Amino acid sequence: MITHSEGPQAPRLKDVAAAAGVSVKTVSNVVTGAVPVSEKTRTRVQQAIDALGYRPNATARQLRTGRSGVIALAFPELPSPYFAELALEVIAAARRHGCTVLMDDTGGDPDAELRIASGLGNPMIDGVILSPLGLDQAGLLAREHRIPLVLLGEADLGPVADRVHIDNVSAARDVTRHLIDQGYRRIAAIGWQDPSPRATALQRLQGYSEALQAAGRPVDHELLPPVNAYFRPDGAAAMRRLLTLPERPDAVFCFNDLLALGAMRAAHEAGLSIPGDIALAGFDDVQEAEYAIPSLTTVAPDKRKIAELAVNCLLERAAGGHTGPSRLMTPGYRVVVRESSRLR
């Protein structure tokens, strides 16, 4: 007679609970995000999940809870290092809840963003995390499928969805103040967009302007070369324009790190030393900023916290744990001072 061995049994919720020293319900809350648990308990449960190799059964979970454990994530510029790094943090945060992330790049197209915000018409998607660029409030209100939605970034579309963003005005003010405190006198900014500025440009320009005004300095529009986009070539072109001025700046705040890296290249091509002849600061703290020569001073948003807040908020909505008004969550940031501005 031939017998069939079923092999070792896959770990179950109760096995994880026993290993972590908590109840099965607590493990379920960690996996599903249905009820918030303390960070200490979440860490202990996650360690037990990792040690045992526990994997939630998506089919069984959907039959039991009506949820699939699949969420969608969409950015307007996925090749951007900032969005790529943030995407990895979102995936890691979702994985801690036993969830899978489907990713898309909208290119900032409002129709694509609306399709994502509506869940792609896919009943298997529990909710969406979206960084909108072209979508407006009217479009968002018109979406057909009102699945749980969390918005990321500067765009304020009103109280139509939960939103996670850092205080861009304060962050831009702080990094500009750092340049002022270092003794730089003629501080330019690269990142303004004309005639249709993004929320990013508006908020970071406001913080830059407030820092100058607090130091008793006027905002010189000659020092605000406009850009079309926030990539390296745009930063290089803007820096070249600044270097043609009769009196060039001695420091430049760029509204993201890619602009700063492009500006750095243009300064090197012009034979200038950084920060000896001109200082630079950016925004986003992408990995490339740390390894540039010289390393780049920048604003570092707490990407891990942004991801955790977005995922936790989304899963709480999906599980019916929060049905109240939309929430605005503001994680922190820090100014990371590196070689590109550290002179005086």
Q: Are residues 118 and 238 in the same domain?
A: no
Q: Which of 176, 254, 251, 230 is nearest to 208 (CA)?
A: 176
Please name every residue paired with 70 in a beta bridge, in sequence order, or none if there are none.
100, 125
Does the pLDDT of residue 58 top 70, yes or no?
Answer: no
In this structure, is residue 36 part of a structural domain? yes
What was the pLDDT predicted at 2? 42
Kindly report, residue by residue over 305-316, the tens digit of the pLDDT: 999 999 999 999
Our count of domains for the chain comes to 3
Asked if 72 and 135 sit in the same domain, the reply is yes
Which tokens is 337 given? 């001072």
Residue 343 pLDDT level (bands cut at 50, 70, 90): low
Identify the bridge partners of residue 72 per DSSP, sorted by sequence position.
102, 128
Name the residue range of residue 17's domain. 13-55
pLDDT tens for each residue of 260-301: 999 999 999 999 999 999 999 999 999 999 999 999 999 999
CATH assignment of the domain containing 33 = 1.10.260.40
pLDDT in tens, 137-183: 888 887 766 789 999 999 888 888 999 999 999 999 999 999 999 99
Same domain, 74 and 25: no
Cβ neighbour number for residue 334 with a 10 Å cutoff: 13
Within-domain flag for 343: no
341, part of any domain: no
Answer yes or no: are the C-beta atoms of 130 and 116 closer than 8 Å. Answer: yes
Band (pLDDT 50/70/90 cuts) for residue 234 is very high
Q: Give a yes or no: residue 212 inside a domain.
A: yes
Give CA–CA dist 217/194, Å, rounded: 23
Cβ(73)–Cβ(90) below 8 Å: yes
Looking at the whole model, is its pTM more than 0.85? no
One domain, residues 189 and 155: no
Which residue stretches of the chain are H helix? 13-20, 24-32, 39-52, 58-65, 81-96, 110-117, 137-141, 168-181, 199-214, 232-242, 257-269, 287-291, 303-318
Neighbours of 110 (CB within 10 A): 15
